[in-house]
Amino acid sequence: MRKIRNLLIGTALAGSLAAGLAAVPAQAATKSDNSSASQTQASRHRFGPYFSSFGRGEDRGDRSYVQGYWWRANGDYYFDFDLFDRDRDRQYAWLDVYYHDDRGWHRFNRYKTFGHSSSRIRFNDDDIDGFRFRVGEGSTRDYDWSGWHRYGSF
């Protein structure tokens, strides 16, 4: 009887020791995965919300806005944005995006929406050293622009 009890206790101890040793590398891998994920998120920079200017008697709640993230990886700039038109007055929300290089500023694209639009932009030229954008609202392209918002090392 004593031999069976010692055998069961020994088996239980060996099993718990093996389980403990197997869990240590898994925990270490989880911690390293979490730290790399936090480093990736730490390199992303949140911006906004940035609002369009307002006119024609609109209040702050009627203005269009943009928000999102930008980051730099492997020499490229990335720009994720969400563009919102809050008042749904059949005037577009606009987003002008420009990039900067050794020759100056260049328009990359102009985005518009009646409701909500999101996109990711990748500036993949090694000579690009930053970008800027502005948000506006109106039925024409030159109405209620915000100021410029600049990011980069230019």
* Cβ partners under 8 Å of residue 70, min gap 6: 44, 45, 47, 77, 78, 79, 80, 131, 151
Closest CA to 118 of 146, 87, 85, 84: 84
The more confident residue out of 83 and 144 is: 83
Is the pLDDT assigned to residue 56 strictly greater than 70? no
Beta bridge partners of 133: 97, 149
Considering the chain, what is the average pLDDT of its residues?
77
Which of 11-15, 32-36, 67-71, 125-129 is predicted most confidently?
67-71
Q: Residue 11 pLDDT > 70, yes or no? A: no
pLDDT for the residue numbered 87: 79
Q: Would you state the pLDDT for residue 26?
A: 42
Nearest to 43 by CA among 18, 21, 72: 72
pTM of the predicted protein model:
0.67
Q: What pLDDT, on the 0 to 100 scale, is given for residue 119?
A: 95
Has residue 148 got a pLDDT over 70? Answer: yes
Which is more confident, 113 or 142?
A: 113
The CATH code that applies to domain 45-152 is: 2.60.40
Q: Where residue 55 falls among pLDDT bands split at 50, 70, 90?
A: low
Least confident of 9-13, 42-46, 51-55: 9-13
Q: Is the confidence at residue 34, as pLDDT, over 50?
A: no
